[in-house]
Amino acid sequence: MDYENLIAEAMEAREKAHAPYSRFAVGAALLAKSGRIYTGCNVENASYGLSICAERVAVFKAVSEGERDFEVIAVVTEKGVPPCGACRQVLMEFGEDIQVIVANGAGEYRVFALQELLPKAFRSKHLG
């Protein structure tokens, strides 16, 4: 897996973030098992609850294109912050084995298993 390429895609996506309120720009690049990469950036709104995170933008773009199987997501913030809980839960819907690359603005990164970031997650099996 070429982590550097995926991080570069996330960095480019981060440049498109609309974060006038928090000034916390985030970019994400999601690699599907098909080999396609889907990017996303956070989009804030004056009505804060209507804002959306970069990770969810990438996942929703991929799903809207028919993807359901993902390998890895790169998330880039200035200081290298992991995805929020809501994004972790959305990713978990598509598999606990997804790798999460957390990178900072300089391209330094750490890799986590999604299950490591969201242990004992709520899953579809809990509904039945």
pLDDT of residue 19: 98
CATH of the domain at 75: 3.40.140.10
Residues annotated catalytic, as ranges: 55
Boundaries of domain holding 68: 3-127
pLDDT of residue 6: 98
pLDDT of residue 123: 87
Residue of 79, 68, 41, 69 whose CA lies nearest to 57: 41
Q: Can you tell me the distance from the alpha carbon of 16 to that of 69, in angstroms, rounded to the nearest whole number?
A: 25
- pTM for this entry: 0.96
Domains held by the chain: number: 1
Q: Which residues of the chain have pLDDT under 50?
A: none
